[in-house]
């Protein structure tokens, strides 16, 4: 039995646990969307300097899942900003995979390595560099 039993959607627990282990970040609310609405996790950051370690994993080129986004909101009373992670409807397996990536990165303190999706894209983009003043090669006749 986990500490959230009966208090939150079980689909959100792995990602909330991973996020809460990051320094300066704490989740405040979550909803899996129940296959009708997008997946959401709301969180606060003690300081903006703590955000890159989390935001990195919601960029599709790093996690391999596109469509996740992080929003910042306030209310009409200009209350302090809160952040909202939003995933696609029913993105439970993606949320679990992202949670594992965050945990692995935090546990191993690995340096930046592009995801398999990003490495493929980078390999396709490798083209010979052309200098600005370089004349195009003439085609042999």
Look at 133 and 78; give whichever has higher pLDDT: 78
Is residue 129 left, alpha or beta, with left meaning phi > 0 and alpha meaning psi from -120 to 50? Answer: beta
Angstrom distance (rounded) from CA 55 to CA 22? 11
Residue 139's pLDDT band, with cuts at 50, 70 and 90, is: low
Question: 9-50: per-residue pLDDT in tens?
Answer: 999 999 999 999 999 999 999 999 999 999 999 999 999 999
Q: Which residues pair with 29 in a beta bridge?
A: 42
Task: Look up residue 137 and give its two tokens.
Answer: 């090669």
Task: Look up residue 74 and give its two tokens.
Answer: 């306030």
Task: Look up residue 136 and give its two tokens.
Answer: 């195009």
Domain residue ranges of the chain, discontinuous segments joined by +: 10-121
Angstrom distance (rounded) from CA 59 to CA 69? 8
């Amino acid at each position: 039995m986990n500490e959230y039993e009966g208090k939150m959607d079980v689909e959100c627990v792995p990602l909330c646990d991973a996020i809460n282990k990051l320094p300066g970040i704490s989740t405040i609310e979550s909803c899996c969307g129940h296959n009708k609405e997008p997946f959401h996790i709301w969180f606060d950051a003690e300081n903006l300097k703590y955000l890159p370690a989390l935001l990195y994993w919601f960029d599709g080129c790093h996690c391999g899942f596109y469509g996740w986004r992080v929003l910042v909101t306030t209310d009409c009373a200009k209350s302090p900003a809160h952040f909202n992670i939003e995933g696609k409807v029913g993105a439970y397996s993606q949320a679990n995979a992202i949670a594992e990536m965050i945990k692995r990165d935090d546990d191993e303190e690995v340096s930046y390595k592009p995801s398999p999706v990003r490495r493929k894209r980078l390999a396709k983009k490798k083209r010979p560099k052309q200098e600005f003043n370089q004349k195009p090669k003439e085609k042999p006749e």
